Protein backbone atom coordinates (compact mmCIF):
# COMPACT_ATOMS: atom_id res chain seq x y z
CA UNK A 1 0.00 0.00 0.00
CA UNK A 2 1.15 3.55 -0.64
CA UNK A 3 2.68 5.73 2.04
CA UNK A 4 0.08 8.16 3.24
CA UNK A 5 0.70 11.70 4.42
CA UNK A 6 -0.96 13.54 7.28
CA UNK A 7 -3.66 15.27 5.20
CA UNK A 8 -7.04 14.43 6.74
CA UNK A 9 -9.88 13.97 4.25
CA UNK A 10 -12.65 12.97 6.68
CA UNK A 11 -13.11 13.76 10.35
CA UNK A 12 -16.06 12.46 12.36
CA UNK A 13 -16.64 13.80 15.87
CA UNK A 14 -19.21 12.55 18.38
CA UNK A 15 -21.55 11.32 15.64
CA UNK A 16 -24.87 9.85 16.71
CA UNK A 17 -27.48 8.73 14.17
CA UNK A 18 -31.20 8.08 14.62
CA UNK A 19 -34.16 6.68 12.75
CA UNK A 20 -37.87 7.12 13.31
CA UNK A 21 -39.50 4.23 15.12
CA UNK A 22 -43.20 3.71 14.39
CA UNK A 23 -45.66 6.28 13.10
CA UNK A 24 -46.47 8.05 16.34
CA UNK A 25 -49.95 8.93 17.57
CA UNK A 26 -51.86 12.12 16.87
CA UNK A 27 -50.30 15.06 18.74
CA UNK A 28 -47.41 12.89 19.89
CA UNK A 29 -43.89 12.96 18.56
CA UNK A 30 -42.42 9.96 16.80
CA UNK A 31 -39.97 7.89 18.78
CA UNK A 32 -36.37 7.86 17.60
CA UNK A 33 -34.00 4.95 17.93
CA UNK A 34 -30.30 5.68 18.22
CA UNK A 35 -28.12 3.60 15.92
CA UNK A 36 -24.61 5.10 16.03
CA UNK A 37 -23.47 6.43 19.40
CA UNK A 38 -20.87 9.18 19.81
CA UNK A 39 -18.53 7.91 17.09
CA UNK A 40 -15.25 9.72 16.39
CA UNK A 41 -12.52 8.85 13.87
CA UNK A 42 -10.66 10.28 10.88
CA UNK A 43 -9.31 9.08 7.54
CA UNK A 44 -6.15 10.45 5.95
CA UNK A 45 -5.32 10.85 2.30
CA UNK A 46 -4.23 7.56 0.74
CA UNK A 47 -5.35 5.52 3.73
CA UNK A 48 -7.52 2.39 3.59
CA UNK A 49 -9.53 2.03 6.79
CA UNK A 50 -11.58 -1.05 7.57
CA UNK A 51 -14.87 -0.87 9.45
CA UNK A 52 -15.77 -4.30 10.77
CA UNK A 53 -18.50 -5.75 12.91
CA UNK A 54 -21.46 -8.07 12.76
CA UNK A 55 -24.69 -7.30 10.88
CA UNK A 56 -26.81 -4.70 12.65
CA UNK A 57 -23.87 -3.01 14.37
CA UNK A 58 -24.48 0.28 12.54
CA UNK A 59 -21.77 0.14 9.86
CA UNK A 60 -24.02 0.97 6.89
CA UNK A 61 -25.88 3.67 8.83
CA UNK A 62 -22.55 5.33 9.57
CA UNK A 63 -21.59 5.19 5.89
CA UNK A 64 -24.92 6.72 4.85
CA UNK A 65 -24.47 9.57 7.32
CA UNK A 66 -21.01 10.35 5.92
CA UNK A 67 -22.30 10.42 2.33
CA UNK A 68 -25.38 12.47 3.23
CA UNK A 69 -27.91 9.74 2.47
CA UNK A 70 -28.94 9.78 6.14
CA UNK A 71 -29.27 13.24 7.66
CA UNK A 72 -30.91 12.48 10.99
CA UNK A 73 -27.81 12.77 13.14
CA UNK A 74 -25.94 14.90 15.65
CA UNK A 75 -22.23 15.56 15.95
CA UNK A 76 -19.83 16.71 13.24
CA UNK A 77 -18.88 15.27 9.86
CA UNK A 78 -16.08 17.35 8.32
CA UNK A 79 -15.02 16.63 4.74
CA UNK A 80 -11.84 18.16 3.34
CA UNK A 81 -12.39 16.82 -0.17
CA UNK A 82 -15.18 16.49 -2.70
CA UNK A 83 -18.16 14.37 -1.73
CA UNK A 84 -17.29 10.70 -1.07
CA UNK A 85 -18.79 8.17 -3.45
CA UNK A 86 -20.30 4.90 -2.27
CA UNK A 87 -20.05 1.36 -3.63
CA UNK A 88 -22.88 -0.84 -2.39
CA UNK A 89 -23.08 -4.52 -1.54
CA UNK A 90 -25.55 -5.50 -4.26
CA UNK A 91 -24.27 -4.31 -7.65
CA UNK A 92 -27.46 -5.34 -9.46
CA UNK A 93 -29.70 -3.48 -7.02
CA UNK A 94 -27.66 -0.28 -7.31
CA UNK A 95 -27.78 -0.14 -11.12
CA UNK A 96 -30.79 1.01 -13.13
CA UNK A 97 -31.94 -2.16 -14.96
CA UNK A 98 -33.61 -0.10 -17.70
CA UNK A 99 -30.45 1.80 -18.65
CA UNK A 100 -27.34 0.71 -20.50
CA UNK A 101 -23.96 0.88 -18.81
CA UNK A 102 -22.89 3.93 -20.84
CA UNK A 103 -25.91 5.93 -19.65
CA UNK A 104 -25.18 4.93 -16.04
CA UNK A 105 -21.56 6.06 -16.24
CA UNK A 106 -22.38 9.34 -17.95
CA UNK A 107 -25.21 10.33 -15.62
CA UNK A 108 -23.13 11.77 -12.73
CA UNK A 109 -21.33 14.16 -15.08
CA UNK A 110 -24.55 15.03 -16.93
CA UNK A 111 -26.12 16.05 -13.63
CA UNK A 112 -23.06 18.11 -12.75
CA UNK A 113 -23.42 19.91 -16.08
CA UNK A 114 -19.84 21.15 -16.43
CA UNK A 115 -18.62 18.99 -19.32
CA UNK A 116 -19.46 18.53 -22.99
CA UNK A 117 -21.13 15.36 -24.22
CA UNK A 118 -17.92 14.33 -25.98
CA UNK A 119 -15.79 14.73 -22.86
CA UNK A 120 -18.34 12.85 -20.74
CA UNK A 121 -18.35 9.94 -23.19
CA UNK A 122 -14.55 9.91 -23.36
CA UNK A 123 -14.31 9.73 -19.59
CA UNK A 124 -16.89 6.94 -19.40
CA UNK A 125 -14.81 4.78 -21.71
CA UNK A 126 -11.65 5.64 -19.74
CA UNK A 127 -13.34 4.50 -16.54
CA UNK A 128 -14.37 1.21 -18.15
CA UNK A 129 -10.74 0.62 -19.09
CA UNK A 130 -9.53 1.49 -15.58
CA UNK A 131 -11.81 -1.11 -14.00
CA UNK A 132 -10.81 -3.78 -16.51
CA UNK A 133 -13.89 -3.84 -18.75
CA UNK A 134 -14.05 -3.77 -22.55
CA UNK A 135 -15.71 -0.87 -24.39
CA UNK A 136 -18.48 -3.13 -25.70
CA UNK A 137 -19.79 -3.45 -22.13
CA UNK A 138 -21.02 0.14 -22.48
CA UNK A 139 -23.90 -0.98 -24.71
CA UNK A 140 -25.14 -3.71 -22.39
CA UNK A 141 -27.80 -3.68 -19.69
CA UNK A 142 -27.03 -4.81 -16.12
CA UNK A 143 -28.95 -8.05 -16.63
CA UNK A 144 -26.51 -8.96 -19.42
CA UNK A 145 -23.49 -8.76 -17.12
CA UNK A 146 -22.01 -11.11 -14.55
CA UNK A 147 -21.92 -10.15 -10.87
CA UNK A 148 -18.25 -9.23 -11.09
CA UNK A 149 -18.81 -7.10 -14.18
CA UNK A 150 -21.70 -5.29 -12.50
CA UNK A 151 -19.55 -4.47 -9.48
CA UNK A 152 -16.81 -3.15 -11.76
CA UNK A 153 -19.41 -0.90 -13.42
CA UNK A 154 -20.45 0.37 -9.97
CA UNK A 155 -16.83 1.15 -9.15
CA UNK A 156 -16.41 2.95 -12.49
CA UNK A 157 -19.55 4.99 -11.81
CA UNK A 158 -18.23 5.96 -8.37
CA UNK A 159 -14.97 7.18 -9.96
CA UNK A 160 -16.63 9.38 -12.60
CA UNK A 161 -16.58 12.43 -10.29
CA UNK A 162 -12.94 11.86 -9.29
CA UNK A 163 -13.56 11.38 -5.58
CA UNK A 164 -10.67 11.37 -3.14
CA UNK A 165 -12.59 9.07 -0.78
CA UNK A 166 -14.56 5.93 -1.60
CA UNK A 167 -16.88 4.19 0.84
CA UNK A 168 -17.18 0.52 -0.05
CA UNK A 169 -20.04 -1.14 1.84
CA UNK A 170 -19.50 -4.93 1.75
CA UNK A 171 -18.55 -4.66 -1.95
CA UNK A 172 -17.49 -8.30 -2.34
CA UNK A 173 -19.83 -10.20 -0.01
CA UNK A 174 -22.37 -10.92 -2.80
CA UNK A 175 -19.70 -12.39 -5.09
CA UNK A 176 -18.10 -15.82 -5.23
CA UNK A 177 -14.61 -16.27 -3.81
CA UNK A 178 -12.73 -16.04 -7.11
CA UNK A 179 -14.49 -12.83 -8.14
CA UNK A 180 -14.04 -11.41 -4.62
CA UNK A 181 -10.28 -11.70 -5.03
CA UNK A 182 -10.42 -9.93 -8.41
CA UNK A 183 -12.44 -7.00 -7.02
CA UNK A 184 -10.12 -6.66 -4.02
CA UNK A 185 -7.11 -6.53 -6.35
CA UNK A 186 -8.88 -3.93 -8.47
CA UNK A 187 -9.68 -1.71 -5.48
CA UNK A 188 -6.10 -1.94 -4.24
CA UNK A 189 -4.78 -1.03 -7.71
CA UNK A 190 -7.11 1.99 -7.91
CA UNK A 191 -6.02 2.96 -4.41
CA UNK A 192 -2.38 2.94 -5.47
CA UNK A 193 -2.82 4.49 -8.91
CA UNK A 194 -5.17 7.29 -7.81
CA UNK A 195 -3.96 7.71 -4.20
CA UNK A 196 -7.54 7.00 -3.12
CA UNK A 197 -8.65 6.82 0.46
CA UNK A 198 -11.15 4.04 1.13
CA UNK A 199 -13.46 3.28 4.03
CA UNK A 200 -13.91 -0.46 3.52
CA UNK A 201 -16.88 -1.96 5.36
CA UNK A 202 -16.98 -5.70 5.92
CA UNK A 203 -17.82 -8.43 8.40
CA UNK A 204 -15.05 -10.57 6.88
CA UNK A 205 -11.90 -10.13 8.96
CA UNK A 206 -9.68 -11.80 6.36
CA UNK A 207 -10.74 -9.31 3.68
CA UNK A 208 -10.12 -6.41 6.08
CA UNK A 209 -6.62 -7.78 6.72
CA UNK A 210 -5.91 -7.94 2.97
CA UNK A 211 -7.27 -4.50 2.20
CA UNK A 212 -6.65 -2.16 5.08
CA UNK A 213 -3.97 -0.16 6.87
CA UNK A 214 -6.09 0.41 9.95
CA UNK A 215 -9.36 -0.98 11.29
CA UNK A 216 -12.27 0.20 13.42
CA UNK A 217 -14.23 -2.45 15.31
CA UNK A 218 -17.92 -1.58 15.68
CA UNK A 219 -20.42 -3.14 18.07
CA UNK A 220 -23.94 -1.96 18.92
CA UNK A 221 -23.36 1.42 17.29
CA UNK A 222 -20.04 2.16 18.97
CA UNK A 223 -16.38 1.93 18.02
CA UNK A 224 -15.00 -0.40 20.67
CA UNK A 225 -11.44 -0.70 19.33
CA UNK A 226 -9.27 0.72 16.59
CA UNK A 227 -5.68 0.46 15.45
CA UNK A 228 -3.23 -0.68 12.81
CA UNK A 229 -4.52 -3.94 11.34
CA UNK A 230 -1.42 -5.98 12.16
CA UNK A 231 -1.43 -4.84 15.78
CA UNK A 232 -5.17 -5.16 16.24
CA UNK A 233 -5.21 -8.70 14.87
CA UNK A 234 -2.18 -9.90 16.86
CA UNK A 235 -2.86 -8.06 20.13
CA UNK A 236 -6.58 -7.19 20.41
CA UNK A 237 -7.49 -5.40 23.63
CA UNK A 238 -11.29 -5.63 23.54
CA UNK A 239 -13.13 -8.88 24.28
CA UNK A 240 -15.41 -8.39 21.28
CA UNK A 241 -12.45 -8.10 18.90
CA UNK A 242 -10.98 -11.30 20.36
CA UNK A 243 -14.37 -12.97 19.87
CA UNK A 244 -14.51 -11.94 16.20
CA UNK A 245 -10.97 -13.17 15.57
CA UNK A 246 -11.66 -16.50 17.24
CA UNK A 247 -14.88 -16.97 15.26
CA UNK A 248 -12.94 -16.31 12.03
CA UNK A 249 -10.28 -18.84 13.01
CA UNK A 250 -7.55 -16.18 13.18
CA UNK A 251 -4.94 -17.02 15.80
CA UNK A 252 -3.69 -14.25 18.07
Q: What is the three-state SS of the chain?
A: CCCCCCCEEEEEEEEEEEEEECCCCCCCCCEEEECCCCEEEEEECCCEEEEECCCCCCHHHHHHHHHCCCCCEEEEEEECCCCCEEECCCCCCCCCCCCCHHHHHHHHHHHHCCCCHHHHHHHHHHHHHHCCCCHHHHHCCHHHCCHHHHHHHHHHHHHCCCCCEEEEECCCCCCCHHHHHHHHHHHHHHHHHHCCEEEEEECCHHHHHHHCCEEEEEECCEEEEEEEHHHHHHCCCCHHHHHHHHHCCCCC
pLDDT band at 22 (very low <50, low <70, confident <90, very high): low
pLDDT computed for residue 90 by the predictor? 85
Among 229, 185, 228, smallest CA distance to 206 is for 229
Contact between 80 and 7 (Cβ < 8 Å): yes
Each residue of 103-156: pLDDT tens digit?
A: 999 999 999 888 899 999 999 999 999 999 999 999 999 999 999 999 999 999
Q: What is the pTM of this model?
A: 0.90
Most confidently modeled range among 23-32, 63-72, 161-170: 161-170
Instruction: Classify each residue of 4-29 as buried b or exposed e, where b means 16 or more C-beta atoms within 10 Å of its C-beta.
Output: beeebbbebeebbbbeeeeeeeeeee
Mean of the per-residue pLDDT values for the chain? 91
DSSP-derived pairing of the beta strands 8-21 and 39-44: antiparallel
pLDDT band at 3 (very low <50, low <70, confident <90, very high): very low
pLDDT computed for residue 151 by the predictor? 95
Percent of the chain with pLDDT over 90: 76
Among 207, 229, 190, smallest CA distance to 89 is for 207
Backbone angles phi, psi at 50, to 5 degrees: -90, 140
Q: Mean of the pLDDT values across residues 216-245?
A: 94
Q: Mean of the pLDDT values across residues 68-72?
A: 89
The Cα–Cα gap between 69 and 64 comes to 5
Each residue of 226-239: pLDDT tens digit?
A: 999 999 999 999 99
pLDDT band at 47 (very low <50, low <70, confident <90, very high): very high
pLDDT computed for residue 27 by the predictor? 53
Structural domains of the chain, with CATH:
1-84+165-252 (3.40.50.300), 90-162 (no CATH)
Among 20, 26, 147, smallest CA distance to 73 is for 20
pLDDT computed for residue 1 by the predictor? 44
Q: Mean of the pLDDT values across residues 52-62?
A: 90
For the cut 80, the answer to whether the pLDDT of residue 252 exceeds it is no
Amino acid sequence: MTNRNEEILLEVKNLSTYYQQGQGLLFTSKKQKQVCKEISFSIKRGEVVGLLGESGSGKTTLAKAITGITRNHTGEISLYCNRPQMIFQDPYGSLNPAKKVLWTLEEPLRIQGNSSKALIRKKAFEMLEQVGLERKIAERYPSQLSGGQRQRVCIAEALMLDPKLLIADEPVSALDVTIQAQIIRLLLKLHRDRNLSILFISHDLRVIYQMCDRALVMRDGQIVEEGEVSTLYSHPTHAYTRQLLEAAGISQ
